[in-house]
Amino acid sequence: MSNSRMTVREIARIAGVSVATVSRVSNGTGQVSEEMRRRVLEAIEKHGYRPDHLGRALAAGRHGALGLVFPGLSGPYFTELIQGFESEAGPSRASVHILCTHLRSDSDAQVLEMGRRVDGVAVIGGTVSDDALLRLAARVPVVVIAGPGPGDIASVRAENPGSMAALTRHLLADHGLRDLVFVGNPEGSPDVSERWAGFRQAHRDLGVTPPAEPVAVGLQQADGVLVAQRLLVGGEPLPGGVVCANDETALGVLVGALGRGLRVPQDLVITGFDDVPTSALVTPALTTVRQPVRELAAEAARLLLTAAGRPDDTPHGSLVLPTELVLRGSCGCPAPSPGTAR
Amino acid sequence: MSNSRMTVREIARIAGVSVATVSRVSNGTGQVSEEMRRRVLEAIEKHGYRPDHLGRALAAGRHGALGLVFPGLSGPYFTELIQGFESEAGPSRASVHILCTHLRSDSDAQVLEMGRRVDGVAVIGGTVSDDALLRLAARVPVVVIAGPGPGDIASVRAENPGSMAALTRHLLADHGLRDLVFVGNPEGSPDVSERWAGFRQAHRDLGVTPPAEPVAVGLQQADGVLVAQRLLVGGEPLPGGVVCANDETALGVLVGALGRGLRVPQDLVITGFDDVPTSALVTPALTTVRQPVRELAAEAARLLLTAAGRPDDTPHGSLVLPTELVLRGSCGCPAPSPGTAR
DNA sequence: CGGGAAACAGAAACCGGTTACAGCGACGAT
DNA sequence: ATCGTCGCTGTAACCGGTTTCTGTTTCCCG
């Protein structure tokens, strides 16, 4: 029963066979006679032997693990990402290492260190330097999630500028809104940068002058609440609409606006990006862009797992998953009847 | 420069020394003459050698890693937990493995498997069976976060029943409210179970009959919105107050209530538990109980790291961190002036 | 009955580090 | 001059598995 200190050699001694035979039985490889198999299995069963992961990994030259690097922010987006990644790695018996860079300066070194503990690393765009990314890719397969990979490093991303442009055009043309503000920091992440670009492009396409600067804040719900405080007080005229870089800030703005007695969308139009579960449920429901976050991470894990199998090292190319414009009440579109809301 | 296939023996051959010397130099242990050190460092530098983690771990008999098991739910609570854990493990050069059970049936086996890849495991209460927990603890140090550990397994938790009772007494006695409902599923997690107990205890202490059943829903913001839909429609009389098992559902209920034109706290009182960042920023600000989530996880990591050092295996005892009642506007207490809100 | 192939078991090398132990030279003390 | 000590270095064993390679049977077929 004492499973602690059991090794192949110990089991071999007990079963009266060689270590090779024990290994073959425990792995189901090679040819073993019925008699031998029985003896070995009996010893294994009796002493609760399970092969040590380290020895196995060392011999195989593989860790059986994937790494996931993300900035260390709160919210549904990142848990969703983690779970999408994990749900794909788990069935392949690969464990998942995570690293929160917290946007610290030594994160490059930490990522490199992670590179020698796993068989592949997925990095959220904007968390580590391009230099570190390239050095990392020299050792293990690397995939960038939600951002561009430098060099020929593979990337998995959602379609951002197109759908953000479509959303902005919808507000400008269909609802006739003007004086839109964009909430989000384009410097902070490639995703936001692309959305800001799409936002401006839509303006130019329609001959409208876009705002010169975004409202550069973080991506958390609390940031949205702060924006509402800043934007909706005093004698300042209300903006025509608040286009947020993600749903979390949009929900923050929404809560802040409703809490100040503003009516959405009559007094203020608000839109988000991501389509997190809450967005369909609030009143008014949030107009947003649906993004397959879980799929993004799952796809990254799949790429890494296949790349880890072959010596043909890093996967190439850039995979762009489609997004979908979701029009709900918060932009002024007629809200679907509550029963059919998804 | 080719760091790939460099081993101790290779470096030793190049530098013209023995593997022992290389190891001593790279680890800074033992006595090495200046001349030897120089030669070795030169070879290491020139060929970009970094010792392989697997070989080192195998020799040391330690993985240099901690595991974190959580159910796989979204939201700020879990990202907070992950980061608290990671921020403590990182500086000790321990990597963090995560496992989302998704409340699947085979999670016990997965947890056991994780047990042989790490030096210690932290498990969120309610995610794996007691049996699996005990088997796991036979191999590696184990700490339960936010829940009771079976046997003498250590646990780190926040004070739940007392602060929830204090909050409930405040609503019943100070605000004179009746017909409170409790939102949360006591079966789902030990935390919620303790809070439900505190809620009922406060009723009994004041001679008020508590509700027989909680509104048993999940812990996500979307669940709160659904509760608002269910609770606040039609001819049903409004409850006197909605006491939520955590802030996320409370924020969901708040958004749902505000979206229906209800005034909080005049028409409906809402309280939460956790004090997530958003709760202080919404209007009205959410009355809640502050819980040191990050600290909880960090403390668990610390316990595991010290336990992993010594052969004295699993840590014992149960550590209970204090919580703090935070009275804000959503229960009817006078809201602090906006400038001083924290 | 002889020959070849297939089935099976074990010894030993290997994965990439760490470290106990032994050996060797230089130095100081007796 | 001799002995002990100290400082440094190398050899080899070890961590716990997998796998190659060799050798022995056994079986089948001509």
Tens digit of each residue's pLDDT (9 = 90 or more) over B224-260: 988 998 887 766 788 989 999 999 999 999 988 887 8
Indicate yes or no: CB of A97 within 8 angstroms of CB of B3.
no
Do the Cβ atoms of A53 and B116 come within 8 Å?
yes
DSSP A215: B
Does residue A3 lie in a domain region?
no
Measure the N-to-C terminal CA separation of chain B; round to a whole number of Å.
52
The CATH number of whichever domain residue B39 belongs to comes to 1.10.260.40
Instruction: Answer yes or no: is A8 CB < 7 A from strand D.
Output: yes
CATH of the domain at B212: 3.40.50.2300
| A61 exposure class (CB count in 10 Å sphere: 0-12, 13-18, 19+) | exposed
Amino acid at B67: G
Helix (H) or strand (E) holding A65: strand A65-70
Q: How many residues does chain B have?
A: 342
- The pairing of beta strand B154-158 with beta strand A95-100: unpaired
Instruction: Let me know if residue A58 belongs to a domain.
Output: no
CA angle, corner A76, sides to A75 and A80, nearest 5? 130
Q: Same structural domain for residues A113 and A170?
A: no
Regarding whether A336 and A211 lie in a shared domain, the answer is yes
Classify residue B336 as exposed, middle or buried by CB count within 10 Å of its CB (0-12, 13-18, 19+): middle
| Residue B280 in domain | yes
Instruction: Flag if A222 and B281 touch (Cβ within 8 Å).
Output: yes
Å separating the CA of residue B114 from the C1' of nucleotide D18:
21
Domain identity same for A284 and A178: yes
**Which residues 92-151 of A are in CB contact (within 8 Å) with B?**
93, 95-100, 102, 110, 113-114, 116-117, 138-139
Looking at the structure, tell me whether residues B121 and B208 fall in a common domain.
no
Q: Give the type of residue at A295.
A: E
- Residue A340's pLDDT is 36
Same domain, yes or no: A187 and A332? yes
Same domain for B224 and B311? no
Q: Would you say residue A1 lies in a domain?
A: no
Pair type for strands B324-326 and B65-70:
unpaired
A2 found inside a domain: no
pLDDT tens for A95-151 read 999 999 987 778 888 999 999 999 999 999 989 999 999 999 988 999 999 998 888
pLDDT in tens, B88-118: 998 889 999 999 998 777 888 899 999 999 9
Residues on chain A touching B277 (C-beta within 8 angstroms): 74, 220-222
A213 shares its domain with A155: no
Query: Could you give the angle at the alpha carbon of A185 between the alpha carbons of A180 and A188, nearest 5°?
Result: 160
Look-up: residue for tokens 């007094």?
A: A267
Residues A279 and A315 in one domain: no
Residue A195, in any domain of the structure: yes
pLDDT at B341 over 50: no
Instruction: Identify whether the C-beta of residue A296 lies closer than 8 Å to the C-beta of residue A157.
Output: yes
Shortest Cα distance from A36 to chain B (angstroms)? 26
Residues B268, A240: Cα–Cα separation, whole Å: 31
User: Do residues B173 and B284 both lie within one domain?
Assistant: yes
B93-122 burial, b for 16+ CB within 10 Å, e for fewer? ebbbbbbbbbeeeebbebbbebbbbbbbbb
Four-CA torsion A31, A36, A39, A41, nearest 10 degrees? 0
Confidence band, pLDDT 50/70/90 cuts, at residue A313: low
- Distance CA(B275)–CA(B80), nearest Å, equals 12
Is any atom of strand C within 7 angstroms of residue A57's beta carbon? no
Asked, for residue A56, whether it belongs to a domain, the answer is: no
Expressed as residue numbers, the domain containing A111 is 63-159+293-323
Q: Is B250 exposed, middle or buried (0-12, 13-18, 19+ CB in 10 A)?
A: buried
Residue type, A25: V
Instruction: Specify which residues B321 forms β-bridges with.
Output: B158
Does A212 lie in the same domain as A138?
no
Confidence tier at A311 by pLDDT (50, 70, 90) = low
Do B25 and B137 have their domain in common? no
| pLDDT score of A221 | 86
Cβ contacts of A341 on chain B, cutoff 8 Å: none
Least confident of A23-27, B67-71, B236-240, B244-248: B236-240
- Spell out the residues 6+ positions from residue A316 whose beta carbon is closer than 8 angstroms to its own: A152, A154
Q: Could you check: is the Cβ of residue A48 within 7 Å of any atom of nucleic acid strand D?
A: no
Q: Is the C-beta of residue A3 closer than 7 Å to nucleic acid chain D?
A: no
Testing the interface with A: which of B6, B281, B293, B337 to mutate, by most A Cβ within 10 A? B281
Asked if residue A269 and residue A211 are part of one domain, the reply reads yes
Mean pLDDT of chain B: 89
B187 CB contact with strand C at below 7 Å = no
Number of separate domains in chain B: 3
Inside any domain, residue B58: no
